[in-house]
Copies of this chain bind each other. A is one copy, B any other.
Amino acid sequence: MKKFSKEEIDKFIDLLDFSKIEGGLVPVIAQDYQTNEILMLAFANEASIRQSLETRIACYYSRSRKTLWKKGETSGHIQEIQHVFVDCYKDTILFKVKQKVAACHTGYFSCFHREYVNGEFIIHGEKIFDPDEVYKK
């Protein structure tokens, strides 16, 4: 997978609108590049987008830890970026990714595995890994 050049990354960053969310963030949707299943939504700042495009491995910004967050750093469940899209306002990014193992920290492939039906949550899909094993100290 071809890496983005410094010039291409600079141009991309310049086009984005970071003004709408406090802290200069944009939402990023990660979607399975083959099935179109949505895996997660996270936020990114300029530095995390630069890292994502330089490495082709998804990197976000953790609002709780206030640091760059290379997805899968602990678990190994990284996301290889296959395609980069922006929306019409250039304030939201879509990464189409090849997800290793699973995206959700609870063990499911997608973070959006709960559907709200008749006042209850129905779980879609199976638990792929045991979080206690993967995130043990």
Contact = CB atoms under 8 A, between A and B. Distances in A.
A41 B114 contact: no
- Count class of interface residues, chain A: 35 or more
Contact of A92 (B7, B36, B41, B118): B41
Copy number of this protein in the oligomer?
Answer: 2
Interface in A108-124: 108, 111-116, 118-119, 121
A45 to B, nearest CB: 15
Interface in A27-80: 27, 29, 31, 35-38, 40-41, 63
Interface of A: 5, 7-8, 11-12, 20-22, 27, 29, 31, 35-38, 40-41, 63, 83-89, 92, 94, 104-106, 108, 111-116, 118-119, 121
